[in-house]
Amino acid sequence: MTDTAVPALVDELRAHLGPVLPLLVDVAADLHAHPEIRFTEVHAAVRLTAELDAAGFAVERGFAGLETAFVGRWQTSDARDDTPSIAVFCEYDALEGIGHACGHNIIAAAGLGAALLLKSALEAAPGTPARLVVIGSPGEEGAAGKVPMIDGGVLEGIDLAIMVHPSGHDSVDGTTLSRVALDVEFRGRASHAAASPERGINALDAVTLSLTAIGLLRQQLTDDARVHAIVTDGGQAPNIIPEHAALRVFVRAAEQDHLLADVVPRVRACFQGAAIATGCEVLVEERTPPYFSLVSNPVLAELARAAYERLGREVANEPITGSTDMGNVSHVVPSIHPMVRLVPDGVPHTREFAAAAGGPEAEPAIADGALMLAATALAVYRDPAIAVAAREAFDAR
C-alpha cells in the first residue's frame, strides 16, 4: 500500500465519524471550559480515560509517577507480536492565564477521535491485525511531561507515534526548535532602600543586567536561536533592597548540539557576569528536561499529506518554530506531529487562538485531525511493510 491508497481509507473512516463527532466536540469544549496547567490536569485526565474505558480500551491511570498521565490499550483478537503497535498521543494541559491558547483541548479530542475511528473501522472489517495505544501525556507546556514517560518505558514495544496540533496552517513534516529551560536565582543582601542603600546588595540589579546582556547577545546569535525570559521574583517592596530575585528563561535553537554547546553556555555567562558586577551569588538550574527538535518521519508524513489532500486541506511547507516534547519521542521511534489549521494564520499562545479553540472553528479541526491520524495508522495496519519502511527511514536519518 502507498499514499495513493490513503484517500480510500479517509472515505472509509469518514463513514464512522458521524456517531463520534458530537462526543469529540463535547470533549474539546469540556476541556476548554476547565483549563488546567501542567501536571494538574485532573479533570481532563478523568474525562479522557472515562471515554477510553467506555470504548473498551484497557486504561492504566497514572504513569511514571505522573498522576494525570495515562495509557489506553486495545488490540484486535488476531494481533501478533509482529503486528504494528501505533501510539496516538494526546495532550491536554493549558497555559497560565490564557487557558487553551495552544489548543491542547483539540489535540486531546482529535487523538481520542483517531482511536475511536480506528477501533470502529477495524471491528467493522475484521482481518486486519492491529495494536493501538493512546498515550495521555501531561505537562507539555514547559515541563516536558513526555520525557519521564519515555524514561518509564511508555514507548517500549511501540513502532510508530503520531499526534496532531492545531495551528494557523496545515502541514505534515515541519520541525521544531530544541529548548532548554533555565531557572536563575540571584541572592544579595537586604537593606533599607532610602536610609542605607549602600549596605544592600541588589539582586534585582543582577536580573536587570542579565536581561540587558541577553539583549545585546542576540545580535551575535544564529538566526534560529531564541532567548526569552520572565522575572519570577523582583523583590518584595520598593523600600527594601531586593535580597532575592529570579528569572525563568527559555533558550532555543534548531540543532540540539549547537544549543547545548554554544548558545546555552553564552546565556549562562550573562548570569555569571551580572552576579560579578553586582556582588550577588547566582544559582542556575535546569529543573525540567530539555526538549529535542522534532524529526518528522518522511514515510508517515506522506501518508498524512495524502489524507489532508483528500480532506481538501492545502498542505503548506511551514516550519514549526516552537518546541515540543514530541521531539523527544521522535528521537526514539518514527513519529509525526502534523499541524491542522484552526483559523487561517492563527497564532498559538494568544487570546484569539484560545477563543477559536473553544469556538465553532474547533469542530472541523477535530474532525479532520482525527481522520488524518486514523488514515495514517490504518494504512500501516493494512500494509505492515510501511512500518518497516518508516523504521528504515528513521534509522537512516
Residue 1: the pLDDT is: 59
**For residue 349, what is the DSSP state?**
S
In sequence order, the β-bridge partners of residue 60 are 71
Q: Is the pLDDT of residue 319 over 80?
A: no
Which residue in this structure is represented by grid cell 482525527? 370
Same domain for 106 and 87: yes
Same domain for 203 and 132: no
Note the pLDDT tens digit of each residue in 205-241: 999 999 999 999 999 999 999 999 999 999 999 999 9
Give the domain-ending residue among 239, 262, 285: 285
**For residue 100, what is the DSSP state?**
S
Same domain for 117 and 11: yes
pLDDT averaged over the chain? 97
Same domain for 171 and 244: no
96 burial class (0-12, 13-18, 19+ CB within 10 angstroms)?
A: exposed
Residue 232: the pLDDT is: 98
46: domain CATH number is 3.40.630.10
Q: What radius of gyration, in Å, describes the C-alpha atoms of the chain? A: 23
209: domain CATH number is 3.30.70.360
Same domain for 280 and 259: yes
Residue 318: the pLDDT is: 76
CA geometry: angle 127, 132, 135, nearest 5 deg: 170
Q: Is 20 helix (H, G, I), strand (E, B) or coil?
A: helix
Same domain for 304 and 272: no
CA 361 to chain centre: 21
Cell, residue 8: 480510500
Residue 183: the pLDDT is: 98
Note the pLDDT tens digit of each residue in 97-121: 999 999 999 999 999 999 999 999 9
Which residue in 84, 152, 181, 173 sits closest to 386, CA to CA?
Answer: 84
**Whole-angstrom Cα distance, residue 144 to residue 99?**
18
The sign of the dihedral angle between the CA atoms of 184, 186, 187, 191 is: negative
Under the banding of pLDDT at 50, 70 and 90, the label for residue 320 is low
Same domain for 172 and 187: no
Give the domain-ending residue among 257, 285, 313: 285
> By percentage, how much of the chain surpasses pLDDT 90?
97
Cell, residue 240: 527594601
**Whole-angstrom Cα distance, residue 29 to residue 235?**
39
Q: Is the pLDDT of residue 268 over 90?
A: yes
Same domain for 192 and 152: no
Q: Residue 250's domain spans which residues?
A: 178-285
**For residue 289, what is the DSSP state?**
P
Residue 317: the pLDDT is: 83
Q: What's the number of domains the chain is made of?
A: 2
Which residue in 219, 342, 209, 343 sits closest to 282, CA to CA?
Answer: 209
Q: Is the pLDDT of residue 294 over 70?
A: yes
Same domain for 212 and 120: no
CA geometry: angle 165, 91, 36, nearest 5 deg: 120
Same domain for 193 and 118: no
Note the pLDDT tens digit of each residue in 170-179: 999 989 999 9
**Whole-angstrom Cα distance, residue 110 to residue 115?**
9
Cell, residue 63: 504513569
Q: Is the pLDDT of residue 334 over 90?
A: yes
Residue 229: the pLDDT is: 98
Give the domain-ending residue among 285, 313, 333: 285
**Whole-angstrom Cα distance, residue 199 to residue 353?**
49
Q: Is the pLDDT of residue 2 over 70?
A: no
Residue 242: the pLDDT is: 98
Same domain for 53 and 161: yes
Same domain for 224 and 296: no
Mean pLDDT, rounded, for 6-11:
98
Residue 397: the pLDDT is: 85
Residue 201: the pLDDT is: 98
> By percentage, how much of the chain surpasses pLDDT 70?
99
